[in-house]
A and B are shown apart, each in its own frame.
Chain A
Amino acid sequence: MEDHARAPPIVESIPEERCRELTDTIGVWVGKSSRVLLRLVGRRATSFPGLLALRVSPRLMRRLGRQLRSCTVVTGTNGKTTTSVMLATVFRSKGPCVHNASGANLRQGLMNALITSADWRGRLRADRAVFEVDEATLPLVAADLPIDFVAVTNVFRDQLDRYGEIDTALQLIIDGIRRTRATAVLNADDPLARHIGLRCGRPTVYFGMARQLARPPEREQTRDGEACLRCGHRLRYDGYFYGQLGLYWCSHCRFARPPLDFTGLYDGTALHVTEGRSGPETYELPVRGLFNAYNALCAIAVARLNGFRPAEIAAALKRYRGPAGRMQVFATEPVSILSLIKNPAGCDSILQAICREPGPKVLCVAINDRAADGRDVSWLWDADWELVPERCGVAQCVTTGTRAEDMAVRLKYAGYPTGRIETTPDLEDGIRRALRAARALGGLPVHVLTTYTALHEAARILESLAAEAAAPERP
């Protein structure tokens, strides 16, 4: 047996700081080489190498992070990915920018993005970063990164506490911001985000939509249980944008929607942004829907705060390629907009967004029941398709996919006239029929809604139809 006591471990003979550096370098190496290996076997490496690197060297995030000159994190319930990708697109117009992959928004995902843009000696090749961060992760990374802006898109909760107690997610965001030296960029139309602004103890900047976009409360009154987080009394609304976003005020204390620093006016294709008294500046949007307009407004606000000029931002937004299926626009003839629907809540928010798009439109709904979609399509009956006949201004419907007929029945029972429903299980045929109907009706926009397994095929079909539309007519 060896005597360990006599031979001190080798690391002890190296000065502590040198040792740490060594560990960090090993961390970078482990992360980068595991990434290479995963790539070699054809796997996407969005988090695992980061996890390994953090195991080897827990301090590595701070070490790499402190090389950043500017760091923005985007958090909130919905719209993190879209907002942060838009921001990264703007930032990259002036040089490299560290950015985590879609959905990889936990600590290891951030670490992975840092390792990816570091060289083998642990030097970052970018001095700017924008991270999409999960609400619960924010407090865990707040101390390791030189965060100068925390953007909160919105905080949606299924059920709000009626006694005005602070929700856990809300508290996590507040704690996270408190640990930074950042300016909080907040959605003024969201009472929960406003609450964060009041509690986080950091400077705040508010963005929100123009008053004239708000709708009077009607169907959305299901949220009437909402309580003021300050005093517990019921919040009142002069109007709603969507969800709980609106012109709110408390009848008891003075809690209310704050004055806006960035005001957005969305007209269905472009966003007109007023900053204080200057503007408005017009930004053409690469995506549709009010919720996407909010994401763009948030990104524009942060980019402006980072010193980007409106023209630079507008040019970058044109280059934005969003994740598939979030009201993604295709230059088909006429224009089509593709959205993913996979559960009642998500479907409802898409339908509400379609209702808010001005003018009549054609709807094409593709429902598949393959394993990844869920074999059971009962959920279609829990989604609010009643909006289609009531408020969406849908001139014609095509149902398609393996469950095309089920969808047609659903629309019928929602009260949509059966004479305006076409049914065909073949996806390409369905999309072509919808576009044909839209042309016949004078060039209406076509909203294509698909379940998961139909999404990429629908995107491919729409892309090729867009290419056909762009090609010069054959002689």
Chain B
Amino acid sequence: MLNLYADRGNVQTLLRRCEWRGLHAHVTPVRRHDEVRLRDYHLVLIGGGSDREQALVAEALRRRRREWKAAVEDGLPVLAVCGGYQLLGEYYQLPDGTKVPGLELLDLVTTAGRPRLIGNIAIESPEVGTVVGFENHGGRTVHRHAPLGTVLRGHGNNGRDGYEGVRYRNVVGTYIHGPLLPKNPRLADFLLSLAAAYAGVAVDFPPLDDELEWAAHRAFLTRHAGVRGPR
């Protein structure tokens, strides 16, 4: 697992949910100059950071762009959040017009904008139902792929088209953090099943007791996002 300053909560959620099912998973934190062979991993998490950090990471990762492209086309599951999401595209255009090149894995571009899009967000995804969390991004993203979901409450990709995130092969990109996975157990298990399938392991994912997770999810929808009825 590649983890560039991803939310610790996302990693922990995936690990615990494996552990509770008796599955073994191993996490490798990756630093900027670490050499990574993507074929050694079954799920990659890319988190966010400041513009400067993001530019440094982009520069480091771009050197292995072909390998990334091939892995993603081959079905490598990737969860990219905030800055990591922007990094999947062609470029991130800074306020002064400079374009910081991305990994070019997706037909996706991001332009810095004002004001920042901040607040609670809830979306409806055809694959995993409602997804809830917090967004805080200056970038406006547009792409030619399927979105992760449609916005029920909040801003989403750009505050205009009503879409949030991206879905392409086994890639999930999103602006939602808070962190993303603890309160969205269906999405967490969706990623784990993608990883298991990609690893070629035949495991089933028996349901867990997710009472607390759904209580938080429901409370969020009704109290914080003002959306009625979960899922």
Contact = CB atoms under 8 A, between A and B. Distances in A.
A405 B219 contact: yes
Given A369-B224, A378-B179, A423 B215 contact: yes
A381 B182 contact: yes
Given A378-B177, A381-B8, A413 B182 contact: yes
Interface residues of B, number: 26
Nearest to B217: A405
A402 interface: yes
B216 A406 contact: yes
A375 B12 contact: no
Interface string B205-223: 0000101110110011001
A224 interface: no
B178 A409 contact: no
A405 B222 CA distance: 12
Contacts of B219: 404-405, 425
B134 A378 contact: yes
Nearest to A407: B216
Interface string B197-209: 0000000000001
A382 B7 CA distance: 8
Interface size class, chain A: 20 to 34
A143 to B, nearest CB: 41
Interface string A387-408: 0000000000000001011101
A394 to B, nearest CB: 17
Interface string B8-42: 11001100100000000000000000000000000
B216 A405 contact: yes
Nearest to B136: A376
A421 interface: yes
Contacts of A378: 7, 9, 134, 177-179
Q: Which of B134, B177, B220 has the most CB of A within 10 A?
A: B134
A418 interface: yes
Contacts of A404: 219
A369 B136 CA distance: 15
A410 B179 CA distance: 10
Contacts of A409: 182-183, 212-213, 216
B82 to A, nearest CB: 11
Q: Which of B134, B178, B209, B212 has the most CB of A within 10 A?
A: B212
Given A377-B178, A413-B182, A421 B134 contact: no
A412 interface: yes
Interface string A248-263: 0000000000000000
A413 B215 contact: no
Interface in A226-249: none
24 contacts: A375-B118, A376-B177, A376-B178, A378-B7, A378-B9, A378-B178, A381-B12, A381-B179, A382-B8, A404-B219, A405-B215, A406-B183, A408-B212, A409-B183, A409-B212, A409-B213, A410-B182, A412-B212, A413-B12, A413-B13, A413-B182, A423-B212, A423-B215, A425-B223
Interface of B: 7-9, 12-13, 16, 118-120, 134, 136, 177-179, 182-183, 209, 211-213, 215-216, 219-220, 223-224
